[in-house]
């Protein structure tokens, strides 16, 4: 069983268009799908689930869609928090979420505070997150320490660099799933996914079921991970 599964939840808008519905209906359906995937991940014994909910590039979308996404997020967190807590799920946020609307920030911080001592599934939501932005922030932090004389160039290791990322205390993803058939990472966990197994199911996110998740995990389990080495 992979310890850490990361998911790019792609295809909400296209799902809505196929149904003849507004795009926000797709995002709402996507949140319902996410609820079931969180439940299944917890049952399967996955330790970390990271989902790409809103990227640094998503601000380019129409203002009404962006605002609607945050309203859906607030509703989801508010509605599901009690159940997440009851199921021993720990919630955390990856990204510069402080730039989100105040009500969204408040609800997210409530969720993190209430679940901080839970010991089950660690559920990480990437919000206002971008892989390049994350790497730049890490580089700037290391450059500042070096300029202040607190760090020598030879002290900069992959382990040190990893500690400067939003995912400092997390294992790298074993498995990355991107729905909708698109074959790219779209600026998601660029440093952390160097040796992740990638699976691209041709299904739009609202139609991604717990059974589909199990299929992806079975495919992952059939692969051989060499991490750049060879099998003996």
Catalytic residues: 10, 58
Sheet of strand 4-8, all strands in order from the earlier edge strand to the far edge: 90-94, 122-129, 48-55, 4-8, 175-178, 197-199
CA 108 to chain CA centroid, nearest Å: 15
DSSP letters, 90-156, are EEEEES-GGGS-HHHHHHHHHHHHHHTT--S-EEEEEEEE-HHHHHHHHHHHHHHHHHTTS--GGG-
Phi, psi of 138 (to 5 degrees): -65, -45
């Amino acid at each position: 069983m992979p310890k850490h599964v990361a998911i790019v939840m792609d295809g909400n808008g296209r799902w809505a268009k196929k149904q003849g519905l507004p795009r926000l209906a797709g995002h709402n359906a996507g949140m319902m799908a996410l609820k079931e995937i969180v439940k299944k991940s917890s049952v399967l014994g996955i330790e970390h689930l990271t989902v790409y909910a809103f990227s640094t590039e998503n601000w380019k979308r129409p203002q009404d869609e962006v605002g609607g996404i945050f309203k859906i997020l607030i509703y989801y967190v508010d509605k599901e928090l009690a159940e997440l807590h009851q199921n021993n799920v720990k919630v955390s946020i990856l990204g510069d979420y402080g730039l989100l609307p105040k009500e969204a920030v408040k609800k997210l911080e409530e969720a993190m505070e209430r679940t901080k001592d839970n010991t089950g599934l660690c559920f990480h939501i990437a919000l206002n997150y971008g892989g390049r932005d994350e790497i730049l922030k890490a580089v700037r932090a290391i450059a500042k320490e070096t300029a202040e004389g607190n760090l020598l160039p030879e002290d900069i290791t992959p382990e040190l660099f990893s500690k400067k990322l939003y995912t400092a205390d997390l294992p790298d993803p074993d498995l990355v799933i991107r729905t909708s058939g698109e074959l790219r990472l779209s600026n998601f966990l660029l440093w952390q996914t160097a040796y992740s197994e990638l699976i691209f199911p041709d299904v739009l996110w609202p139609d991604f079921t717990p059974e589909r998740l199990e299929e992806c995990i079975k495919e992952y389990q059939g692969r051989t991970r060499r991490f750049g080495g060879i099998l003996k």
